[in-house]
Amino acid sequence: MIAKVVEEMFSQRKGGYLIPAEIVANVSETNNLNHALLVLTKVKYAKIPVLDKEQRVTGLLSLAMITETMLGLNGIDPSRLNRMTVKEIMQTDFPKIQAPYDIEEILHLLVDQPFLAVVDQAGVFLGIITRREIMKEVNYFAHDLEKQYLIEPKAGYLEETKNTGTKVNLVVPTRRSSSAKVRR
Ligand code: AMP
C-alpha cells in the first residue's frame, strides 16, 4: 500500500496523467515494416503502441525490433521490410492498465516500463501514461509537500533509527487520522 497522502497528492492533478490516444503515435498490426520504420523515424519515439482494426492495443513496436529484423547472415537486408508486417515482430508481452487506473499499480509498473498503455473495459486504446508525466508530478510533490502538510517524525521510529544509525524517515500524518496534525 502506498501512503494515503501520496495517493491524495497524485489525485489532485486535474485531468489525470493520460496522454490521449488521439495524440499518441501508433502503427497498425497490418502495416508493413517499411511504413512502420518511417513512422518511428519521423516521430522520434523509441517505442510506440500497435493497434488492431478495432483500436485495441495488441503490441509495442520499437526501432530496434525493425533493425534486428533487417539483420541477415550477410549484413543488413532492407528488402525484408516490405514483405513483413508489424504483427510478425511486435512485442506482445507488455502490461496494460485498465481505466479507471490505480496510481499504486502505475508507480510499480513504470519502474520497468517507459510508458503504459491504458485501455477501456473492451480493450480499446485510450492513451498512455509516461514516466515523464509521473516524474513531473513527483517533482511538484517534492516541492509542495511541506506547503500542504505539517510533517513530523514519529517518536518511536525516531528512537529506533537513532539506535541503529539509519537515516530518519519522515512520516506524514493524514487527514483521516484522529491524531493527525494536518494543515491544508
Ligand atoms: P517520456 O516519459 O515522455 O520520455 O515517454 C516515454 C516513452 O513513451 C517514449 O519513449 C515513447 O516510447 C512513449 N511516448 C511518449 N509520448 C508519446 C506519444 N505522443 N506517442 C507515442 N509514444 C509516446
Q: How far apart are the C-alpha atoms of 40 and 48, rounded to whole Å?
A: 8
Entry pTM: 0.82
77 within some domain: yes
Ligand 1 binding pocket includes 132 (Cβ within 6 Å): yes
Label residue 4 by pLDDT band (50, 70, 90): confident
56 within some domain: yes
Label residue 170 by pLDDT band (50, 70, 90): low
What is the predicted pLDDT for the residue at 159? Answer: 66
Label residue 181 by pLDDT band (50, 70, 90): very low
Atom 2 (ligand 1) nearest CA: 132
What is the predicted pLDDT for the residue at 161? Answer: 63
167 within some domain: yes
Task: Summarize pLDDT for 25-63 with one digit per residue, the tens.
Answer: 999 999 999 999 999 999 999 999 999 999 999 999 999
DSSP helix/strand/coil, 72: strand
Per-residue pLDDT, averaged over 110-129, amounts to: 96
Q: Are 97 and 117 in contact (CB under 8 A)?
A: yes
Tell me how many domains the chain contains. 2
Q: Look up the domain containing 37 and give its range.
A: 4-138
Q: How far apart are the C-alpha atoms of 134 and 142, rounded to whole Å?
A: 12
**79 & 13 share domain:** yes
The residues that bridge with 20 in the sheet, in sequence order, are 127
Ligand 1 binding pocket includes 80 (Cβ within 6 Å): no
Higher pLDDT among residues 158 and 4, named by residue = 4
**70 & 26 share domain:** yes
Q: Long-range contacts made by residues 6-9, C-beta under 8 angstroms, separation at least 24?
A: 6/141, 7/103, 7/104, 8/174, 9/137, 9/141, 9/144, 9/145, 9/148
What is the predicted pLDDT for the residue at 165? Answer: 59
Please identify, by atom number, the ligand 1 atom nearest to the C-alpha of residue 26: 21
